[in-house]
Structure 1
Amino acid sequence: MRKSSRSSSIDPSSLSSSALVGLPLPDDSSLWNEVSGSLLPPALNYQKRNESLVSKLNKGHGKLAGIAKTRSLKPKAALQMQDFYTNLLSGLREEKGYLTKILGNIDTILKNRESLENEAKKKKRRGDDKEKAGKPAISKKRRTTGESIDNPLNLESGDQVVVQPVANKEWLLALVLRYIPEKRVYEVEDAEEDEDRPGTRNTYLCSVKTIIPVPKEGERRDEFPPGYSVIALYPGSSCFYSATVMVPPSKNKDPDYPGDYMVKFDDDQGFERGVEPRMVLEPPKRQK
């Protein structure tokens, strides 16, 4: 199973609205609303979750150091530490994804602001030149259209989805880039960098049938009951595999995975693993 080791040193709390007063312009309201409304809150939640996992890992290492001096390490303890690490890696990847999107939006806002300021200066110079020549300045209004773009899944740029780029192959976590109406496909970007080309990510064109939207942070859904067949994100990777729900979030009493599903992945030696609820989805065959 494909795994990833990503980290982020950016503090999302430094991106609060008070730190960016004066940046957003009217034309950039949607970008700014996305930052403050749907990107920053989950980034902060992942930061807290990751800090909690680091604390648990430190405690676990302390306990393991004492155990190693007196007796051999039990498989359950080893598996627990492995899950801590894989969940931390997964959480860091999610945090980095949100932060990358936040920084991308802010960069666009700044570039738009610079562009508008430059355009205003050019218009002023043109107006001054025309007045000097004794000609009245002619104002040109930009033409706008209210055309709506077909978007069957109502997905926005930056939304998380699960896609199957190659038929009958594995399902991958990805980010929506855009919808292409004339081709009736979505262009998406792999959530994980290409192992053979560090620093780059693959992009795919996917039809609606090969896309499963990931619920947004805070979106309410009915829980899957125990024994239900799902696909879930394997901890520490960007791949989704078939699994069976063992314990739903509302009944999970395990202090190491509060609020998570406990699932058993197919062909995973019967281990139960904790998975974030948003990353436990209806199997593709049941998608409507």
Structure 2
Amino acid sequence: MDRKSRTSRSATLENTNEELNLWKQICHSLMELEQIQAKTETVMKNLNEMRGTIRPEEGITTVALQRLKEYYRGGIDLSSDETRTITDVIEKLSVLTALREASEKRAEQKKKKRRSEVEELKSASPSPKKPKRYQVEDVEQDDNGQKQKYMLPPRNVIAVPEPADLQSIPEFPTGHDVLALYPGTTCFYRAIVVQPPPNKENNSGPIKYKVQFEDDNDEVKIVLKEHVLQVPKGKP
């Protein structure tokens, strides 16, 4: 796995988290806005009721005047809070929109690159020694919402073991080079085994490896055994 692929995947995960955090902040601000507007309605109701009790010909008492001033000041403060909150929401929505557009652009570029690679594969001459081909389905949908299917030679396909076959598969020792499914993605990358699965005789739970992916800041990730594969021979 090259550094460019690692950087691209890490950036995608970071952008997703940033969008999610930003959306949570927007939702929180909208809840605050509802509370401010509810308080404003209460203040306006109190003002209207108080104005209805005042008779110009009778004047107004000191207590009533003080209360009237407090209502008006409270209304001004709430109005300022409402303006501030709305401005904050608009700014965050603008940032979120920009992030989503950037994510969609990257996704479109990724699809174009995949289509280009497929076209190159289609234009390659078939191997006379290995006429067999596998039909595989892309996990991602295209622009029309369809999952594309491709025919690949055996050298471009690595079988993923079934969970029922895990007990018969030899375990990789610490320090062994493998291909592992990076958590949260559908892609396999080169990694090194940090810790093989523990003894599972008395444990019926999932069998997991601890691995370190290349160019991943030495972070240790946990991957299911069926998603840890032998590096094909001839791969650098």
Q: Indicate the structure (1 or 2) with the bigger Cα radius of gyration.
A: 2
Using structure 2 for the length normalisation, give the TM-score.
Answer: 0.41
If each structure's helix is expressed as a fraction of its own residues, which one has the higher value?
A: 2
Using structure 1 for the length normalisation, give the TM-score.
Answer: 0.34
